[in-house]
């Protein structure tokens, strides 16, 4: 079912590179399809949205009102939930809120001896658009993970888009929007939803930033509209890398690998372990457990396409390979996870210990589940409150300060050949100072 590799193989590095190669977000055909969709929405607005929703989501809507959900409908969905579901959503929301409140950045300033004041004003974005995926599965947890940090940051207006294939609305998704304080929901998906948020239409207001994961069409659209609006990241399919010392119940690890594989045929699940016999046990667990999984076709395809069981020399080598892979999720299923964590530099989220299954992070541990994928954890971070805040520099210059700064600026401006810059600084210089 899954590729078996060993770091002692002579061609291990090229095999690993092959396994990690992921180019869907820059697939030229997808980019071309998305460019056409973006242009159509830009030119024909709501009419194009209705057309694409019919074509891609199988949803026949007479007008945009049929694709718009007001707060009262979100509340009604919340009220329809079974109490146990409502409590689970509320509990997850509380934990996510508590974690993200620690990320709030505050404005700061300091005063220099001559009275010049310098600082940074931190302000929330005015209006953001949250993309919640809904093609192959529904993601109430993604509603919480996007909307709560925005709310904590103080964003004034939160617009959410979510596709509803064949018009099937998911109460948990709408209830999560209610709990998180989303202002309006449009049942739109794919590149057309991203275009609507980026450019605005007669119905949909233009937003300042679009966040949230999605499939290759969503990713390509976000990449294309960046600059018109901000984006959080270009997220690829889900990934999990497990490092195990061979002592965790193999069924647990097998299910952890399935948990990300079941998202998508191109999701990635990899296990690193120094013990070849243990890798065989996990393979046996997977073979036994797979037939009982409702999404077994997706899991099988994902594991065959992009999964691997890799034998490493030792845990130190496993850490090195993890840094090379820079996975979205990294489980350290070992006796001393903190010692191993100290060797990890690149991972979106690190799950420590045998009990920390990645699924807990997806739903309710507290940290965000929107994470850098496709090796971007080398330079990117989890979605957070900081993605919904921005910074403005503050510069107050006293008369005395203008004398010191003016002379420096004037010299540098002349060096750059910029006369107006130099004079602008020099006009404020006072005789005798």
256 binds Zn ion (CB under 5 A): no
Is the Cα torsion angle 186, 177, 212, 54 positive or negative in sign? Answer: negative
Helix, strand, coil in percent for the chain, rounding step 5: 50, 15, 35
> Rounded to whole angstroms, how far apart are CA atoms 212 and 110?
36
Size of the site for Zn ion (CB under 5 A): 1
In order, the DSSP letters of 329-350 are EEEEESS-HHHHHTT----SEE
CA angle, residues 361, 94, 188, in degrees to nearest 5: 75
Partner from ligand HSO, Zn ion, ligand NAD, none binding residue 163, C-beta < 5-8 Å depending on class? ligand NAD
Closest distance to ligand NAD from the beta carbon of 18 (Å): 20
Which span sits near Zn ion by CB under 5 A: 101-109, 155-163, 360-368, 381-389? 360-368
99 is in an annotated binding site: no
Query: Which residues is 124 bridged to in the sheet?
Result: 389
215 is in an annotated binding site: yes
Closest distance to ligand HSO from the beta carbon of 47 (Å): 33
Closest distance to ligand HSO from the beta carbon of 384 (Å): 15
Query: Which residues is 239 bridged to in the sheet?
Result: 268
List the one residue from 256, 264, 328, 362 that touches Zn ion (CB under 5 A): 362
DSSP letter assigned to residue 164: -
Specify the residue for token string 């989890």: 382
DSSP letter assigned to residue 102: T
* 189 touches 162 (CB < 8 A): yes
Closest distance to ligand HSO from the beta carbon of 84 (Å): 18
Which span sits near ligand NAD by CB under 6 A: 1-9, 118-126, 171-179, 212-220? 212-220
List the one residue from 71, 119, 124, 135 that touches ligand NAD (CB under 6 A): 135
Query: Which residues is 110 bridged to in the sheet?
Result: 118
List the one residue from 7, 103, 116, 142 that touches ligand NAD (CB under 6 A): 142
> Rounded to whole angstroms, how far apart are CA atoms 371 and 211?
11
Partner from ligand HSO, Zn ion, ligand NAD, none binding residue 387, C-beta < 5-8 Å depending on class? none
> Rounded to whole angstroms, how far apart are CA atoms 193 and 182?
16
- Choose, from 239, 262, 328, 331, the residue flagged as catalytic: 328
CA angle, residues 345, 382, 147, in degrees to nearest 5: 170
426 is catalytic: no
302 binds ligand NAD (CB under 6 A): no
Size of the site for ligand NAD (CB under 6 A): 27
* 362 touches 141 (CB < 8 A): yes
- Choose, from 100, 178, 262, 329, the residue flagged as catalytic: 329
CA atoms within 13 A on the CB side of 22: 25
- In this structure, the strands spanning 389-396 and 117-124 are antiparallel
361 binds ligand NAD (CB under 6 A): no
Query: Which residues is 230 bridged to in the sheet?
Result: 209
Q: Which is nearer to ligand NAD, 8 or 29 (CB)?
A: 29
List the one residue from 12, 24, 33, 75 that touches ligand NAD (CB under 6 A): 33
Closest distance to Zn ion from the beta carbon of 19 (Å): 20
Q: For residue 154, what are its two tokens?
A: 């103080």
Restricted to residues 321-350, the positions that interact with ligand NAD (CB under 6 A) are: none
Closest distance to ligand HSO from the beta carbon of 173 (Å): 11
* 43 touches 230 (CB < 8 A): no
Closest distance to ligand NAD from the beta carbon of 134 (Å): 5
* 172 touches 140 (CB < 8 A): yes
Question: 355: buried, middle or exposed (CB in 10 Å: 19+, 13-18, 0-12)?
Answer: exposed
Which span sits near ligand NAD by CB under 6 A: 9-17, 73-81, 185-193, 309-317? 185-193
Q: Which residues contribute to the site for ligand HSO (CB under 6 A)?
A: 139, 141-142, 238, 260, 328, 362, 369
329 is catalytic: yes
Q: Binding site membership for Zn(2+): which residues?
A: 260, 263, 362, 421
Residues that bind ligand NAD (CB under 6 A): 33, 56-57, 133-137, 139, 142, 163, 189-191, 213-215, 217-218, 235, 237-238, 263-264, 267, 369-370
**What residues act catalytically?**
328-329
Q: Binding site membership for NAD(+): which residues?
A: 131, 192, 215
């Amino acid at each position: 079912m899954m590729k078996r590799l060993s770091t002692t193989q002579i061609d291990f590095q090229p095999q690993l590179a092959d396994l990690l190669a992921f180019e869907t977000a820059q697939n030229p055909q997808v980019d071309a399809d998305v460019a056409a969709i973006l242009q159509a929405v830009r030119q024909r607005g709501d009419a194009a949205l209705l057309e694409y929703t019919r074509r891609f989501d199988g949803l026949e809507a007479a007008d945009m009102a049929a694709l718009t959900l007001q707060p009262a409908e979100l509340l009604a969905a919340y009220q329809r939930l079974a109490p146990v579901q409502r409590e689970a959503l509320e509990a997850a929301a509380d934990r996510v809120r508590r974690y993200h409140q620690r990320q709030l950045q505050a404005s700061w300033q300091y005063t220099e001896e001559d009275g010049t004041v310098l600082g940074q004003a931190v302000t929330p974005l005015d209006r953001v658009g949250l993309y919640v995926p809904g093609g192959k599965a529904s993601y109430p947890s993604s509603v919480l993970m996007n909307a709560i940090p925005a709310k904590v940051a103080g964003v004034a207006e939160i617009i959410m888009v979510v596709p509803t294939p064949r018009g099937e609305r998911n109460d948990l998704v709408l209830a999560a929007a209610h709990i998180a304080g989303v202002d309006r929901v449009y049942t739109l998906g794919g590149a057309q939803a991203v275009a609507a948020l980026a450019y605005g239409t007669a119905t949909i207001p233009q937003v300042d930033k679009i966040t949230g994961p999605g499939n290759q069409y969503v990713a390509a659209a976000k990449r294309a509209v960046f600059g018109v609006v901000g984006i959080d990241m270009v997220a690829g399919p889900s990934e999990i890398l497990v490092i195990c010392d061979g002592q965790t119940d193999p069924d647990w690890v097998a299910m952890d690998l399935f948990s990300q594989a079941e998202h998508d045929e191109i999701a990635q699940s990899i296990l690193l372990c120094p013990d070849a016999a243990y890798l065989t046990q996990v393979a046996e667990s997977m073979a036994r457990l797979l037939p009982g999984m409702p999404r077994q076709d997706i899991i099988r395809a994902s594991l065959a396409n992009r999964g691997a069981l890799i034998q490493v020399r030792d845990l130190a080598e496993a850490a090195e390979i993890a840094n090379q892979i820079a996975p979205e999720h990294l489980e350290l299923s070992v006796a001393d996870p903190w010692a191993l964590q100290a060797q990890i530099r690149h991972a979106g989220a690190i799950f420590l210990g045998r009990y920390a299954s990645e699924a807990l992070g997806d739903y309710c541990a507290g940290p965000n589940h929107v994470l850098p994928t496709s090796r971007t954890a080398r330079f990117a971070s989890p979605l957070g409150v900081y993605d919904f805040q921005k910074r403005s520099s503050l510069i107050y210059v006293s008369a005395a300060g203008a004398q010191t700064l003016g002379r420096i600026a004037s010299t540098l401006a002349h060096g750059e050949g910029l006369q107006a810059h130099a004079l602008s600084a020099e006009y404020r210089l006072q005789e005798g100072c």
